[in-house]
Structure 1
């Protein structure tokens, strides 16, 4: 299958899923309005959620920067933020390579080798997806009823303990030098390049997964505030929203075939949100969440450009 055909199929699938969600919205909206339901907008919470999105992505950048450091490369925090946010915008360009390509071009101008730039992205993505996947699985522990009796509902009361144990184990595994060597070995085969990074200590190895976990938790809190700014939601559901945000991202990323997980992420998010609110409201929020996320990314770009004026020797995107 050629890349062009695959991309076309991806767009068709994404469109089909979105059409299905809109159809559900159309068919059920009348029932919703009959109940007297009204959206309630809380502007301060919405603004706070956007600010937290920027903070979350700063945590993600720091996880990636610490990985670069373990590879013997150093970049300043402010430059790292700018490279991260600007490269993030490139994912909206058709094709799946522009985000990484933009990142590589920017950091290379700052003295980072192409090999280490690419390797750092592979390692970071491995960590981020591992943590997001585990967080996504936690959703069925927090909301076992969503699986229609496949899991004992009483397990929900143990969710905080299960989460603490599971993530402690995962962070320790990801921080181990042997894990780092394994990821580098696999990445070097993917890149078809010989890679011999400096030996990383366990103490330094803790930093990337901890920052990555902080990113997902902060992003989940931001998502909860976004929903709560439109539909009042109990704070007791915060853990569930952290889990569903990460889980929906993981599904979207793993879909591969659609651009930026378009359609798949919204579909899964609508399904998860549907366990808290009427279906049409869940659909509206799942579709609006992508716009909200893009708004946070644009805010981040504005912030880093204010912090550091554009340098003439860096590539324009």
Structure 2
């Protein structure tokens, strides 16, 4: 009989392979248009956009790391990189849950309780979407009338979502969700300084993504002092719009439509779709490279003892008392009894 631990490992591998399949399909499906788009770009431009995209992804990983540590499970950067880079392939599978599920399962290898992983991921998502809306609300009304007319309702959400990042509101929302799924509440809320630090990394990620789109826009004839701000706001708005389309893998279609709408008034005819396609391919390749590097150099999970293989959610309630790195430290002031001698 196959153990539960082996079953979960097989499921994780299958999820990653499925994500890779959808990721490859998203590239092949638009291959001809993508080739034409890349023919208009110089190698230096593409490398610069690629590097900026990688930097943006890393900044978002650090944002998630702050929230996870704030909930009680600090992990090394290499471990966070491995978990996040591999799990992000799940966003290419239709539906928004696969990246979350994969991330939670990979985090369990580092003895992170699912409640903390779930909560920190939602916090990181909320921070990225809220700061993205705020950036779009600040930059686009001043630089893009088309975005202002078409997506004005999204701009109204920015202050509301930013306010919802307050630790008290976040704690109440997460505890309510955990109660609905019959899980114990969070041990303690994320503090306000930690929330601000997580939001800072999210904003820095948007800056890098803005640089990536700005380089692509310049390559197809875009110019003007406001282009960097427009590119940053355009990517932020496009990403949020794609995120809200639940079924589309990676927001494909919705993200490109929003990006083309915003960029059309400032780029030569036909150039916005070229930029949108190039952006999609560059960031998809960045995701693939991240996942590959994570497998090669990412921090490996700690070795489990023979009794750890069947650890499940039933232990999550006690996991708050575990050390995030080792997971087996007793709580201060707790008497440990019934210790058996080592049989080795």
- Report the TM-score range of the alignment, normalised by the length of the smaller protein: 0.7 to 0.9
Residue 211 of structure 2 is matched in structure 1 by: 221
1:280 Cα shift?
1.7
- Indicate if the aligned counterparts of 2:52 and 2:208 stay in contact, CA closer than 8 A: yes
Q: Distance in 2 between matches of 1:212 and 1:239?
A: 17
- Indicate if the aligned counterparts of 1:48 and 1:222 stay in contact, CA closer than 8 A: yes
- The yes-or-no answer on 1:253 pairing with 2:228 is no
Structure-to-structure mapping, 1:65-144, within 5 angstroms: 65-144=65-144
Q: Distance in 2 between matches of 1:288 and 1:247?
A: 17
Per-residue CA shift, 1:229-285, capped at 9, x if unaligned? 444534531011111101001111112232322211111111111011134221222
Where in structure 1 are there 5+ consecutive unaligned residues?
1-14, 23-28, 30-38, 151-165
Structure of greater relative contact order (alpha carbons < 8 Å, 6+ residues apart)? 1
Q: Distance in 1 between matches of 2:299 and 2:187?
A: 32
TM score, norm. by length of structure 1 = 0.72
RMSD over equivalenced CA pairs, Å: 3.3
Q: Distance in 1 between matches of 2:238 and 2:95?
A: 21
1:183 Cα shift?
3.6
CA 1:72 to 1:280, structure 2 compared with 1: closer, same or farther past 3 Å? same
Counterpart of 1:198 (choices 188, 200, 203) is 188
CA 1:232 to 1:310, structure 2 compared with 1: closer, same or farther past 3 Å? farther
1:224 Cα shift?
1.3
Q: Distance in 1 between matches of 2:146 and 2:42?
A: 29
Residue 145 of structure 2 is matched in structure 1 by: 145
Residue 286 of structure 1 is matched in structure 2 by: 276
Structure-to-structure mapping, 1:157-168, within 5 angstroms: none
SS of the equivalent of 2:134 reads helix
Where in structure 2 are there 5+ consecutive unaligned residues?
1-25, 151-157, 305-344
Residue 300 of structure 1 is matched in structure 2 by: 290
Per-residue CA shift, 1:160-219, capped at 9, x if unaligned? xxxxxx99x987x56643233234234435544331332443322321111111111111
Q: Distance in 2 between matches of 1:302 and 1:137?
A: 35
Q: Distance in 1 between matches of 2:64 and 2:138?
A: 25
Per-residue CA shift, 1:122-153, capped at 9, x if unaligned? 11111111111222223432225336999xxx
1:310 Cα shift?
6.1
Per-residue CA shift, 1:25-58, capped at 9, x if unaligned? xxxx9xxxxxxxxx75332232122112111111
Which structure has greater helix proportion?
1
- The yes-or-no answer on 1:267 pairing with 2:257 is yes
Q: Distance in 2 between matches of 1:74 and 1:135?
A: 29
